[in-house]
Structure 1
Amino acid sequence: MNKEKRQEIFERLRAHNPNPTTELEYNSTFELLIAVILSAQATDVGVNKATRKLYPVANTPEAIYALGEDGLKEYIKTIGLFNSKAKNVISCCKDLIEKHNSVIPDNRKDLEALAGVGRKTANVVLNTAFRQPAMAVDTHIFRVSNRTKIAPGKNVRQVEEKLLKFVPKEFLLDAHHWLILHGRYTCLARKPRCGSCIIEDLCEFKDKTSD
């Protein structure tokens, strides 16, 4: 795909949704971090249901740490992998309190050193909370990048690096949100809704549908 096509694709995505953001609900960087940790292999809808009950009770590292693993599990037990997530979140809160004065780090190295925080989670926090040009490639973004040929790659890291290289600079801060929403609601895994797609004529996917 050439740069003119990429430019036009992101211009249309921006025109359609000028201020994209995550569908996770949060009111602080800490709440965002915990929500992203909980969202691994779970839906944003499911995470939001849990955090709507959790955050009014505990929404700081100290408050969640005070709940302990068993206490936290009561709030997140509807989310997949809740046992391991509870362990990670409690460990993460402990690290934040002891090593960072309960302040969320704004750099990759310190974020990825926290329990439960891998590269993708760090990228979401860096991009969404700190407005840094990071690209969190999940299954939706991986699929859209490969299908459209915006940034094809054999693995998540390849796609991440190509997106950072090929997405026009003016769109880098919001590209993650546009692509994830496009994959979630239009470029669906089983059957993309090509007939309803605002970038269908620019997309280089060969097996387009009429939906």
Structure 2
Amino acid sequence: MNKAKRLEILTRLRDANPHPTTELNFSSPFELLVAVTLSAQATDVSVNKATDKLFPVANTPEAIVALGVEGLKDYIKTIGLFNSKAQNVYKLCQILIEKHNSEVPESREALEALPGVGRKTANVVLNTAFGWPTIAVDTHIFRVSNRTKFAMGKNVDKVEEKLLKVVPKEFKVDVHHWLILHGRYTCIARKPRCGSCTIEDLCEFKDKTD
């Protein structure tokens, strides 16, 4: 895909949604960190249902440590892999208290050192909580980037690398939200909704649907 096409795609996505953000419910960097950690292999809807009950009771590292692992499990047991996620979130909170004055660190290295936090989660937190121009590549972004030929790569790291290279600076902070939402609601996995797609004429996917 050429530079002009990419620019037009990004412009249209921006025009349709000028101020995109995550669909996870949060009101602080800490709540976002917990929500994103819980969202691995789970839907945002399922995470929001759990955190809408959890956060009014415990939305600080101290409060979650006070709940304990078993107490935390009661709130997140509807989310997949809740046993291991409860352990990770509990340990994560302990580390935030001990090493970071209970604050979420604005540092990739410090974030990725937390239990249950990988590169994708760190990218989301840095981008959404702190405004960094990071691009968290999930299954939706991986699919959309490859299917449209916008930024092709054999794995999520390669797609991230390509996106960081081809997306102009003015679009970098918001691009991962646009691509996630596009993959979630329009360029869906089984049968993309090409007929209602704002970038159908620019997309280089060969097997377009009606």
TM over 0.5: yes
Q: Answer whether contact 1:142 1:156 (CA < 8 A) is retained.
A: yes
Instruction: Name the CA distance, whole Å, in 1 between partners of 2:41 and 2:115.
Output: 17
2:51 matches 1:25: no
Residue equivalent to 2:163: 163
Aligned to 1:149: 149
Quote the residue 2:54 is aligned against.
Answer: 54
Please say if 1:121 is aligned against 2:121. Answer: yes
Q: Secondary structure at the match of 1:47?
A: helix
Equivalent positions of 1:77-88 (< 5 A) are 77-88=77-88
Quick one: which amino acid aligns to residue 174 of structure 2? Answer: D
- How many angstroms apart in 1 are the aligned matches of 2:129 and 2:105? 11
TM-score under structure 2 length normalisation: 0.99
TM-score by length of 1: 0.99
Whole-angstrom distance in 2 between the partners of 1:7 and 1:185: 21
Q: Unmatched 5+ residue regions in structure 2?
A: none
CA distance in 2, matches of 1:126, 1:3: 27
* Distance in structure 1 (CA, Å) of the matches to 2:170 and 2:105: 25
* Distance (Å, rounded) in 2 between the aligned partners of 1:79 and 1:184: 19
Given residue 131 of structure 1, which amino acid in structure 2 is its aligned partner?
A: G
How many pairs align?
210
Q: Percent identity?
A: 77
* 1:142 alignment partner, SS class: helix
Contact 1:6–1:168 (CA<8 Å) still a contact in 2? no
Q: Which residue of 1 aligns with 2:136?
A: 136
Q: CA deviation at 1:168?
A: 1.6
Which amino acid in the other structure matches residue 56 of structure 1?
Answer: P
Does the residue aligned with 2:57 lie in a helix, a strand or coil? coil
Quick check: 1:186 aligned with 2:190? no
Cα distance in 2 for residues equivalent to 1:56 and 1:163: 37
Q: How does 1:66-105 map to 2 (within 5 A)?
A: 66-105=66-105
Q: Deviation string for 1:106-165 (max 9, x for gaps)? A: 110000001110000000000101110111000000000000111000000000000000
CA deviation string 1:30-58 (max 9, x = no partner):
00000000000000000000000000000
How far is 1:83 from its partner?
A: 0.1
Which aligned segments of 4 or more residues in structure 1 are displaced greater than 6 angstroms?
Answer: none
Aligned to 2:112: 112
Pairing 1:40-51 to 2, within 5 Å after superposition:
40-51=40-51
